[in-house]
Amino acid sequence: MITLKDINHTLKPNKYYLCLCVTSLSLCTSSIFAEQQTLATLSFKATEDSGTAEQGYKTNQVSNIGPWQGRKLQDLPYSIQVYSQDLIKNVQANSSTDEIYRMNPLMQLHTPQYANDQPMVFLRGFRVATSFRDGLLGDQFGHGTTIEDTEKVEFFNGLSGFLYGPANVGGLTNFISKRSTIEPLNEITLGSTGGKNWYIGGDFSGKFDEENKFGYRLNALKQDGETQIKNQNIDKKFISLALDWQPTDQLSLQIDAMYRDFNIDGKSADWDFSGKNVQRISAKSLRNDMSWSQDWTNSEYKTERYGAHLNWQANDQLTLRMNYLESQSDRATQLGVNRVNADGTYNQTIPRIYANGMNRRTSQQFDKRTSTYLDYQFNTASIVHKLTFGYQTANTTQKRFKKDAKEIIYENLNISSPNYFPKPEGEMLDRGDYKSSADTKTESWLVGDDVTFNDQWSALIGGAYVKIKNKLKETEQSAFTPNLSIIYKPQDNITTYATYIESLENGGIAPDTSGSHVVINAGQQFDPIKSKQIELGLKYDFNDQLALNTAIFKIDKALEYSQNIDDTHAIYVQNGRQIHQGIEFTATGKLTDRVSIVGGYTYLDPKIKQQKNKPELEGKRPPIVAKEMFKVYAEYDLPQIENLSVNAGVTYTGKSFTDKENTDVLPAYTLFNIGARYQTQLKDVPVTLRANLNNAFNKHYWANDINLGEPRTLLFSSSFKF
């Protein structure tokens, strides 16, 4: 709705005056004399800055960035990308994070979500497995990350310790939940994620009352069937509910809940080339459209999540913000490993062969997060201040059984194609105590000042006192982590900035496996790590249609890694320092009225700076980290056929190494995607048809050190609004 006010006109003989309507702009004329004439009707449509397809997915809206509230994306001194709901839908990432992760030019996808229900990526060369939900850490290990109830995804690159408390040094992904809409929304989507893996999802929203004070948002999805990889089946059930209440213009309360059950049978096995005289096999020689594990292997992940948010604007100067998030994840994992032999055969190991009816749970995790911010706005002479006091807490507990069932090994298998065997009988056993393997509590007290000196100069100045307590080791570590950002705007559409930030993060937790090796200290949590970063950036909004952003950065972080002990075992250690520096560039928006683009380029120079155990590793590149990435996704609205858009994408990931010595090379690869979207009406019901063909040329490649890349995959869906 458009409201135009304070329009003054001077009336003269034989001139016309304008009549302004609320919903459209009409020119109606009346002569001062008897003569009358009617002008043509003009109309326009007002759209919000929400990253729609019509806007080329460009948005300047961003959620609260930690304690900072109210700044536009253009004026924040950090490298942040926002992927909107329209983009999520149109690349068909509405049932998995993988598609949206693959297209981010600043993000290297390491492990897809279907592999272990734990999507892992590299941001600025550092592994990131955690995900945030509405500004709070949702799960320390990333399990149960959901996009079905996500309105948009915000990618934050680099250190964020002052902003969010202890977090990944490379960056974070923040999933912003869908909230109730004023206009009723009822949308059903039917689709396929590839092969015979079908899903049906629903998105329903509206208000309960005529005053629009009490609203709801309900999302649900059921997915089942064989994927594009034969002998692999994914079964998922998901439901979430969000309730919004705004009794006054100054007070709002939001609560939400989610349940998710994810099952995968026949997950493709991990590959191991660490044996003596064994070289990595070319990905071209392995079938990428079949599961290389047994179809009876199963992993299950159950997740519950509950959240609440309160925002109270007491007056024009004082605002209170409070957030709470609680989650619980149960895992039962069974991951096969194929160890290649020197003679070209392979041995397959399947762990945890349990008897029917036995509790298969591998681990269980509990997370509780809170944040409270008090904002106070005031002036000192002509300088505007927005002072924020904050308190953040986080509690994470992970429990594991002491014992697992025995494994089974199939030896000397032919590598020309997968080998399948009937499921063996498991054994009953006493699994020992079910006890905590990790138990940490973090607290962060912070104060920040958003200072505006004039139209060109501003600053974000803050610091946090962070404390991390390891309850199992009965140790405690604390540090002061500052944030200093200087922002200069030579023009309204140009922002330059310099940011220095430090971060204290939880020490790593030793994983179950490292590649194909069993980690002997799995579950051990290490001491906290302090890191620092400096970043220089430039943001340019070209004609309010195309956002061009670039940043150069340098990060200094402690080194954590898995070190092989023998052919089958490894140990996780914390030792040394690593330096990552580089430059990144992104472009989002409209190139022309009919062409939209989302893409960018990353150049990274990561090196091990210090390694006391093995000095010869100094100067080497950390494993799995590519130096270059280039990704672009483009859409074109065809002028010949109304409501039809075609799209294409290209993804280039440079070569990397699987080992610390930089001897085992993962070749660079380039993938091409194509797709189309068509909007129509079916008996007054809006319908959107989407089709995307990923890896169109069926490129065989290694996605990381242990997993083959996905084969050619056709995704398609039909969405109906009523």
Please provide the DSSP assignment of 468-519 as one string.
Answer: EEETTTTEEEEEEEEEEEEEEEEETTEEEEEEEEEEEEPPPB--SEETTEEE
Banded pLDDT at 102 (limits 50, 70, 90) = very high
Whether 311 and 252 have beta carbons less than 8 Å apart is answered as yes
Whether 272 and 515 have beta carbons less than 8 Å apart is answered as yes
Q: Is residue 21 pLDDT above 60, yes or no?
A: no
pLDDT of residue 392: 95
Least confident of 38-47, 293-302, 696-705: 38-47
Higher-confidence residue of 376 and 331: namely 376
pLDDT of residue 17: 32
Q: Is residue 484 pLDDT above 50, yes or no?
A: yes
From residue 241, how far is each of 85, 151, 178 by CA, in Å?
Answer: 18, 13, 9
- Average pLDDT estimate for 321-339: 92
pLDDT of residue 381: 93
- Average pLDDT estimate for 405-433: 90
pLDDT of residue 536: 98
d(CA 229, CA 264): 12
Least confident of 134-143, 170-179, 205-214, 240-249: 134-143
- Average pLDDT estimate for 689-710: 95
Higher-confidence residue of 73 and 520: namely 73
- Average pLDDT estimate for 216-221: 98
Amino acid at residue number 663: T
Least confident of 153-167, 287-301, 498-512: 498-512
pLDDT of residue 10: 34
Q: Identify the structural domains of the chain with CATH numbers, from first to last.
A: 1-46 (no CATH), 53-284+307-429+438-721 (2.40.170.20)
Higher-confidence residue of 42 and 680: namely 680
- Average pLDDT estimate for 348-372: 88
Other beta carbons within 10 angstroms of residue 459's beta carbon come to 17
- Average pLDDT estimate for 400-419: 91
- Whether this prediction's pTM lies above 0.75 is answered by yes
Banded pLDDT at 207 (limits 50, 70, 90) = very high
Higher-confidence residue of 613 and 468: namely 468
Contacts (Cβ under 8 Å, ≥6 apart) of 648:
633, 634, 672, 673, 674, 675
Banded pLDDT at 5 (limits 50, 70, 90) = very low
Task: Tell me the per-residue pLDDT of 545-577, one tens digit each, with 9 for 90 and over.
Answer: 999 999 999 999 887 777 778 877 888 887 788
Amino acid at residue number 541: D
pLDDT of residue 50: 85
Positive or negative CA dihedral for 276, 277, 278, 280? positive
pLDDT of residue 515: 64
Whether 318 and 363 have beta carbons less than 8 Å apart is answered as no
d(CA 482, CA 324): 25
Least confident of 178-187, 280-289, 422-431, 635-644: 422-431
pLDDT of residue 516: 67
Q: Is residue 614 pLDDT above 90, yes or no?
A: no
* Closest C-alpha to 562, from 575, 550, 551: 575
Banded pLDDT at 27 (limits 50, 70, 90) = very low
- Average pLDDT estimate for 263-274: 91
pLDDT of residue 48: 59
pLDDT of residue 8: 36
How big is the CA angle at 305 (ends 299 and 307), to the nearest 5 degrees? 165
- Using DSSP, state whether 1 is helix, strand or coil: coil
d(CA 526, CA 510): 8
Q: What percent of the chain has pLDDT over 70?
A: 93
pLDDT of residue 365: 87
pLDDT of residue 575: 77
pLDDT of residue 15: 33
Banded pLDDT at 26 (limits 50, 70, 90) = very low
Kind plus residue range of the DSSP H or E element containing 172:
strand 171-177
- Average pLDDT estimate for 649-665: 94
pLDDT of residue 53: 95
- Average pLDDT estimate for 378-396: 95
From residue 645, how far is each of 141, 190, 641, 714 by CA, in Å?
Answer: 38, 20, 9, 17
- Residue keyed to tokens 């997740």: 303
DSSP conformation class of 699: -
Give the gyration radius of the chain's Cα atoms: 27
Q: Is residue 619 pLDDT above 70, yes or no?
A: yes
How many residues in the chain? 722
Alpha carbons within 13 angstroms on the beta-carbon side of residue 436 total 12
- Average pLDDT estimate for 61-89: 95
Average pLDDT, the chain: 88
* Closest C-alpha to 92, from 586, 647, 670, 653: 647
- Average pLDDT estimate for 88-97: 92
d(CA 149, CA 239): 9
d(CA 147, CA 141): 16
pLDDT of residue 209: 94
